[in-house]
Amino acid sequence: MPLAAPVASGQTVCVTGAGGFIASWLVKLLLQKGYIVRGTVRNPDDRKNDHLKELDGAEQRLTLYGADLLDFESLKAAIDGCDGVFHTASPVTDDPEKVEQAVLGTKNVIMAAAEAKVRRVVFTSSIGTIYMNPNRSPDAVVDESCWSDLDFCKNTKNWYCYAKTVAEQTAWAMAKEKGVDLVVVNPMLVLGPLLQQSINARYVHVKDVAKAHLLVYETPSAFGRYICVETMLHRGELVDILAKFFPEYPIPTKCSDQVNPKKKPYKYSVKKLEDLGMEFIPVKQCIYETVKSLQDKGHLPLP
């Protein structure tokens, strides 16, 4: 069911896993643009969600729903009556036994969205569903048509990429079956300042990832998958940047594996997202703001 007209503010949208790193910035952006937001969290009264309640516009236009991805009825209650859904909640796991949970949660969200007849679902996936393929040429340009090889993920015990890939493939299959307009954002490692006090395990700025979600939701012609990557960095380049910005910290000058020759990084195409008008925050600014935020939140002691 393609979008017939541009999306305007004032609509009601649901953000799953609203207290997470990406989701928190997305909720902030949605409130800024005038949306009425329903955020699903495990416990609305948990203090770790207080940062959401303190956002501008939250008192008037944000409601937190206690929901569990494995509990269809709790998701249905949050999604019923919504115009759109942003599904950002998905367990980050290296446990093969939890893959089924990620898949079931995805199915439940798509089914609830279908029953609510929402205009569009935007699903937060990962670059991990795209790049894990040993048969790809080092000179290949990686774009949205690429998929990670599930057998390779299993053989290398990369259960994170395996779970993400299976969950995204499930989302596409369910969306087709249920007639849901689905668009997927595939971000790289997400950095940037924290809104919440706790750290979520996560080179692209979190503000850009949130912006990309809103962009593909509001653009009627948006379709398929969208790689969201500002640049590729070798770990050696990362420590060089950190050492220049923060010389007061004992940052190593070499990575432990630097004796090995650098592997040629893949080239990623972000043309689809740029064609929608996306402009990325430079990775150096991203890294600087991440460290400053960790200092401000007390996660990184001042030297």
What amino acid positions are annotated as catalytic residues?
A: 164
In angstroms, rounded to a whole number, what is the distance separating the alpha carbons of residues 276 and 274? 5
> Which residues, 6+ apart, have CB-to-CB distance to 134 below 8 Å?
149, 152
Q: Cβ atoms within 10 A of the Cβ of 96, count?
A: 12
Token pair listed for 283: 């990775």
10, 35 Cβ separation under 8 angstroms: yes
In angstroms, rounded to a whole number, what is the distance separating the alpha carbons of residues 138 and 262? 12
Q: Cβ atoms within 10 A of the Cβ of 301, count?
A: 8
C-alpha dihedral over 264, 166, 203, 84, to 10 degrees?
150
Q: Cβ atoms within 10 A of the Cβ of 85, count?
A: 29
Nearest to 127 by CA among 265, 256, 291: 265
